[in-house]
Amino acid sequence: MTDKTPAQRVQAIFDEAVVVPCKKCGGVDFYKDGKCKPCKKTYALERYYSKLDENRVKSRDYARAHKNDRRDYAIKYRDANQTKILATEKLWRVRNAAHISLRNKTWRDANIAKARYNSVQYRISNPDAYRRYAHNRRVRQENNGGKLSKGLSERLYKLQRGRCACCGKPLGSNYHLDHIMPLSLGGANEDWNIQLLRATCNHQKHAKHPIAFMQERGKLL
């Protein structure tokens, strides 16, 4: 039984092996097919670039021929891995926030008219989302902290049964999200400090203390 370690036995095999020189450059760093590692790498790169255009055409033709299959697979994969994909996309947006902001600003500067049109159309199509965005943006500007959650308007509308929290009249479609305790008086930009008011009531309340405002309207003693 030998006293050599596994590493020593492997080294002995290499020492006893017959070194075959490279057929192309004569080097002794033998890999396979009679070529050394540098020559093998050079050959692979030359073959890759020589067939690059051909492979691109094949890839394009395959994608066009299997367009529907690829689309169906993508839809099924996204449906089955929605949570994972959303988490990955969110992480990418966080890591590339500066790049995304710069890209969007560059596009807006080059397409001012289209950007304004898209903004107006989004505001018309998503009034509740725009109200929430406007409040959160105002808070960011004032550095008050806090953020309103998605779907808050719908939940409050059901909770208030579609009526103004101040006067009790129907809210209609042009209602406002109001901070019960105004931000200027130290109120928080949190869901629990929000109510829905008719536009008229919200303009009248403005930044007044909620108790003082309701007393003015004769609702409180």
Fold for the domain defined by 152-216: DNA Binding (I), subunit A (1.10.30)
Q: 100-112: per-residue pLDDT in tens?
A: 999 999 999 999 9
Which of the given ranges, 131-135, 143-147, 166-170, has the highest pLDDT on average? 166-170
Residue 142 scores a pLDDT above 70: no
The mean pLDDT value for 117-137 works out to: 82
Q: Is the pTM of this model over 0.85?
A: no
- % of the chain exceeding 90 in pLDDT: 33
The mean pLDDT value for 76-82 works out to: 92
Residue 28 scores a pLDDT above 70: no
**pLDDT for the residue numbered 144:** 64
Residue 90 scores a pLDDT above 60: yes
- Report the candidate in 178, 161, 179 with the shortest Cα–Cα distance to residue 170: 161
User: Tokens for 118?
Assistant: 């898209």
The mean pLDDT value for 118-132 works out to: 83
Residue 173 scores a pLDDT above 90: no
Q: Give the orientation angle of helix 152-159 with respect to helix 127-142, to 10 degrees.
A: 110
Go through 20-57 and write b for each residue having 16 or more CB atoms within 10 A of its CB, e for each that does not.
Answer: eebeeeeeeebeeeebbeebbeeeeeeeeeeeeeeeee
| CA 104 to each of CA 19, 68, 132: distance values in angstroms, whole numbers, following the listed order | 60, 31, 21
Residue 156 scores a pLDDT above 60: yes
Residue 175 scores a pLDDT above 60: yes
Q: 178-202: per-residue pLDDT in tens?
A: 989 988 888 888 889 899 999 899 9
**pLDDT for the residue numbered 17:** 55
- Report the candidate in 161, 167, 191, 163 with the shortest Cα–Cα distance to residue 179: 191
**pLDDT for the residue numbered 123:** 82
**pLDDT for the residue numbered 31:** 57
Residue 91 scores a pLDDT above 70: yes
The mean pLDDT value for 45-74 works out to: 91
- Residue 161's region, left for phi above 0, alpha for psi from -120 to 50, else beta, is left
pLDDT averaged over every residue in the chain: 84
